[in-house]
């Protein structure tokens, strides 16, 4: 009973690094925020988790981990409720920081308790690594579902029942800490994991914003679309046994992730279906790279859980680097492309073969939509619906609507091109530590 | 092929293949269309099938945008309301008077273009030139927006005289318009 409960706590906390992604567009609207500002709802959590997990693991080893786990879980759950009740973006970010502190203590103590219950940190790895992977994979889809059916606040409310696990902390001690000297971590797998996480999370964040804000998909449809990555990763897990030596498989995985991200940077149209092929490539890449790199990072003798902590810190630091580096690029590109799309739409309207009165009425309706969009990409369909053209111009009017919509979609899609290529650059950089690990491994053999 | 190279090469081929297909279908050029240079003459400005006042308005926009060093479309959006005009002026570090001067110069150029294309002459040309040179620019824009495509110069004058807060001489009939002639 305790092992599933501990695994569940790890899965829920680590899912929080991505679960809120699909709620961000709604958060941005509710608090009248910007893409860059709202990205800190994700960044703050991951930054604090990355910074706090190493001292938290030390704390867990030197004190009673069940007490630390209970305190961490209580702080995490109550902070989740505070996130749901936040009245401003600043308060939401502040409560996310508290949530991450509680989360770091929960994960660190859960890892220590799992190690004591299973006899060693080495034996605990499969449990918490699987729980974390499932949490991070399911997170975006779960967040999208909750946002669509209820609200973004529901993402945080559903975490409150984690308090029900607290009585388990009162059960007998899981045993003494694992003896032995502190293990030395080889940081190359961690660096590779951090760079892959940077590329992947930035891509997930970008894809969600593109689907919901750029192409106006509902959170549920966006959640279904971005589920292609974890589904592909799950379906392709058998490939790892047929892809040659493990580190060659990891290298292939890194290349596939880079290729998939770069393909998202050169989308030839504004359709969710066009994102599936790159997502499948990324998912297959993950199936090949992540297990090998995680094993290389946390495998072997690790009596103090130091390598486990470093691995989690590296992955979450990578998430922070990816979002902090690429969210401002996206903000800048959205501004630039919005202006270009507005100009090209205005050109179409000015040159359209429809009566001047219709043009003027339509221009006013579009200007109202631009004003309503408040810096984001405007929706033009309501403007066209609001104006009735003369019957003899109906065909030209419909053509104009299709052409203007096309320009807006081109602007929306193109704004994400450079950020996706930036995410691909992070994944490309991960090939360096993977290749060096592979070379060292071959030499040792 | 050695097993250590097989998977990386397959991943590389799949990546290049997907990127290549996307590029072949226009992935590198899927962006908003570039707008035309307002300083270059457009065919639409002299198109005889286009309503006269629309041609004049478009040509005036081109001329003003060319003077201000912006696109016709950016200027058109800026002229939709006062807030947009202010934002445009601040963004380009120019005064609203600069915009008015440029629009007036554009209107005069538009009348020249219409006359050169043989679309106006005689009294209509003189009246339009007088309005372009002396009528308040804001009122002219509002009148050009409100006028019907098949209206005449007299219709434009009626639109102008019907606008509130605009100091345009009362011009009830064509006979009175002769007073405007030099």
State residue A47's pLDDT score: 93
Torsion angles phi and psi, residue A82, rounded to 5: -65, -35
Number of domains present in the structure of chain A: 2
Q: Rounded distance, CA A22 to CA A153, Å?
A: 12
Contact A405, A380 (CB under 8 A): yes
Instruction: Tell me the Ramachandran region of residue B112: left when phi exceeds 0, alpha when psi lies from -120 to 50, beta otherwise.
Output: alpha
> Pick from A278, A343, A357: which is nearest to B35 by CB?
A343
Verify whether the Cβ–Cβ distance A243 to B148 is below 8 Å.
no
Residues of A in contact with B78 (CB under 8 A): none
Instruction: Tell me the Ramachandran region of residue B37: left when phi exceeds 0, alpha when psi lies from -120 to 50, beta otherwise.
Output: beta
CA A118, chain centre distance (Å): 31
The pTM assigned to this predicted structure is 0.80
Verify whether the Cβ–Cβ distance B31 to A340 is below 8 Å.
yes
CA-based nearest distance B78→chain A, Å: 10
Handedness of CA A377, A220, A100, A104 (dihedral sign): negative
Residues of A in contact with B149 (CB under 8 A): 355-357
State residue A101's pLDDT score: 95
Residues of B in contact with A357 (CB under 8 A): 148-149
User: Predicted confidence band at B174 (pLDDT cuts at 50, 70, 90)?
Assistant: very low
Whether A232 has its CB under 8 Å from any CB of chain B: the answer is: no
DSSP code per residue over A180-212:
SPPPPP-HHHHHHHHHHHHHHHHHHHHHHHIII
Contacts of A263 (CB under 8 A, 6+ apart): A277, A278, A281, B15, B18, B19, B22
Report whether pLDDT(B176) > 70. Answer: no
Greatest mean pLDDT among A16-20, A156-160, B161-165, B172-176? A156-160
Please check whether residue A46 lies inside any domain of the structure: yes
A220 token code pair: 């549920």
Verify whether the Cβ–Cβ distance B12 to A243 is below 8 Å.
no
State residue A443's pLDDT score: 63
Verify whether the Cβ–Cβ distance B30 to A255 is below 8 Å.
no
> Pick from B5, B30, B53: which is nearest to A414 by CB?
B30
Whether A389 has its CB under 8 Å from any CB of chain B: the answer is: no
User: Predicted confidence band at A256 (pLDDT cuts at 50, 70, 90)?
Assistant: very high
> Pick from B30, B53, B71: which is nearest to A413 by CB?
B30
A8 token code pair: 């569940």
Report whether pLDDT(A113) > 50. Answer: yes
Report whether pLDDT(A121) > 70. Answer: yes
Chain A residue with minimal CA distance to B71? A343
Count of CB contacts below 8 A, A vs B?
A: 143
Residues of A in contact with B57 (CB under 8 A): 356
User: Where does a domain end: A152, A175, A198?
Assistant: A152
What is the rounded average pLDDT of the residues A368-382? 73
Contact A30, A307 (CB under 8 A): no
Q: Rounded distance, CA A323 to CA A326, Å?
A: 5
Residue, of A171 and A317, whose pLDDT is higher: A317
Residues 63-92 of chain B whose Cβ lies under 8 A from any Cβ of chain A? 71-74, 76-77, 80-81, 84
Q: Indicate the range of A65-69, A439-443, B36-40, B157-161 predicted with least confidence.
A: B157-161
State residue B178's pLDDT score: 47
Report whether pLDDT(B181) > 60. Answer: no
Q: Tell me if ipTM is over 0.85.
A: no
Could you report the per-residue pLDDT of B104-155, keeping only the tens digit for each? 888 888 888 888 877 777 777 788 888 878 777 777 777 777 776 666 767 7
State residue B170's pLDDT score: 39
Domain that holds residue A362: 335-413
Whether A442 has its CB under 8 Å from any CB of chain B: the answer is: yes
How far are the Cα atoms of A197, A436, B129, B170, B181 from residue B122, in angstroms, in the given order? 73, 84, 11, 21, 11
Residues of B in contact with A249 (CB under 8 A): 7
Report whether pLDDT(A412) > 70. Answer: yes
> Pick from B3, B25, B81: which is nearest to A245 by CB?
B3
Q: Residues A222, A228, A234, A240: what is their CA dihedral angle, to the nearest 10 degrees?
A: -140
Mean pLDDT over each residue of chain A, to the nearest integer? 85
Whether A341 has its CB under 8 Å from any CB of chain B: the answer is: yes
Please check whether residue A273 lies inside any domain of the structure: no
Whether B28 has its CB under 8 Å from any CB of chain A: the answer is: yes
Q: Rounded distance, CA A1 to CA A118, Å?
A: 13
User: Where does a domain end: A104, A131, A152?
Assistant: A152
How far are the Cα atoms of A104, A144, A191 from residue A16, in angstroms, in the given order? 11, 13, 22
Handedness of CA A358, A364, A366, A368 (dihedral sign): negative
Top residue of A244, A368, A389 to mutate, by most chain B CBs within 10 Å, is: A244
Greatest mean pLDDT among A56-65, A417-426, B112-121? A417-426
Verify whether the Cβ–Cβ distance B145 to A356 is below 8 Å.
yes
What is the rounded average pLDDT of the residues B22-37? 86
Residue, of A370 and A234, whose pLDDT is higher: A234
User: Predicted confidence band at A300 (pLDDT cuts at 50, 70, 90)?
Assistant: low
State residue A133's pLDDT score: 78
Report whether pLDDT(B22) > 50. Answer: yes
Residues of B in contact with A267 (CB under 8 A): 22, 27, 30
């Amino acid at each position: 009973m305790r092992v599933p409960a501990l695994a569940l706590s790890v899965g829920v906390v680590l899912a929080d690094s991505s679960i809120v992604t699909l709620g961000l567009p709604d958060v941005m609207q509710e608090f009248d925020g910007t893409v860059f500002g709202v990205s800190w709802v994700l960044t703050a959590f991951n930054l604090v988790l990355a910074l706090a997990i190493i001292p938290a693991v030390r704390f867990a080893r030197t004190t009673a981990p069940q007490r630390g786990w209970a305190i961490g879980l209580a702080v995490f759950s109550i902070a989740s409720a505070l996130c749901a009740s936040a009245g401003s973006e600043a308060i939401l970010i502040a409560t996310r920081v508290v949530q991450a502190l509680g989360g770091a203590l929960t994960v660190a103590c859960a890892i220590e308790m799992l190690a004591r219950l299973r006899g060693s940190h080495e034996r605990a790895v499969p449990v918490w690594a699987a729980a974390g992977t499932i949490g991070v994979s399911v997170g975006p889809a779960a967040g999208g579902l909750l946002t669509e059916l209820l609200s973004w606040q529901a993402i945080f409310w559903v975490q409150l029942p984690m308090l029900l696990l607290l009585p388990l902390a009162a059960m007998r001690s899981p045993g003494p800490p694992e003896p032995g000297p502190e293990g030395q971590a080889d940081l190359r797998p961690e660096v590779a994991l951090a760079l892959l996480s940077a590329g992947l999370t930035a891509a997930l964040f970008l894809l969600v914003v593109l689907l919901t804000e750029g192409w106006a998909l509902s959170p549920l449809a966006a959640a279904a679309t971005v589920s292609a990555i974890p589904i592909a990763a799950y379906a392709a897990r058998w490939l790892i046994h047929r892809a040659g030596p493990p580190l060659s498989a990891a290298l292939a995985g890194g290349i596939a992730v880079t290729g998939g991200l770069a393909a998202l940077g050169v989308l030839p149209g504004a359709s969710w279906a066009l994102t599936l092929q790159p997502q499948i490539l990324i998912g297959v890449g993950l199936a090949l790279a992540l297990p090998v790199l995680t094993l290389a990072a946390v495998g072997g003798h690790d009596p103090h859980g130091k390598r486990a902590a470093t691995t989690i810190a590296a992955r979450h630091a990578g998430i922070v680097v990816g979002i902090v580096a690429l969210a401002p690029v996206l903000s800048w590109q959205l501004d630039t492309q919005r202006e270009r799309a507005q100009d090209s739409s205005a050109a179409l309207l000015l040159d359209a073969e429809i009566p001047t009165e219709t043009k003027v009425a339509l221009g006013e309706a579009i200007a109202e939509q631009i004003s309503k969009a408040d810096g984001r990409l405007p929706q033009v369909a309501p403007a066209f619906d609001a104006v009735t053209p003369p019957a003899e111009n109906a065909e030209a009017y419909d053509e104009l609507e299709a052409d203007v919509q096309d320009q807006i979609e081109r602007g929306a899609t193109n704004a994400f091109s450079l950020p996706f290529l930036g995410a691909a650059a992070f994944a490309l950089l991960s090939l360096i530590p993977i290749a060096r690990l592979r070379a060292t491994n071959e030499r040792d053999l | 092929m050695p097993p250590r190279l097989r998977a990386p090469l397959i991943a590389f081929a799949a990546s290049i293949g997907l990127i290549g297909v996307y590029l072949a279908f226009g992935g590198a050029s899927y962006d908003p269309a570039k707008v035309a240079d307002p300083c270059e003459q457009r065919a639409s400005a002299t198109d005889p099938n286009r309503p006269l006042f629309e041609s004049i308005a478009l040509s005036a926009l081109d001329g003003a945008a060319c003077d201000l060093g912006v696109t016709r479309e950016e200027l058109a959006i800026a002229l939709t309301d006062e807030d947009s005009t202010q934002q445009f002026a601040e963004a380009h570090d120019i005064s609203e008077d600069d915009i008015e001067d440029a629009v007036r110069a554009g209107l005069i150029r538009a009348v020249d273009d219409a006359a050169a294309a043989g679309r106006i002459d005689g009294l209509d040309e003189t009246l339009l030139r007088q309005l372009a040179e002396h009528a308040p620019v804001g009122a002219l824009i509002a009148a050009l927006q409100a006028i019907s495509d098949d209206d005449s110069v007299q219709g434009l004058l009626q639109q102008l005289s019907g606008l509130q807060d605009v100091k345009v001489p009362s011009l009830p009939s064509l006979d009175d318009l002769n007073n405007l002639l030099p």
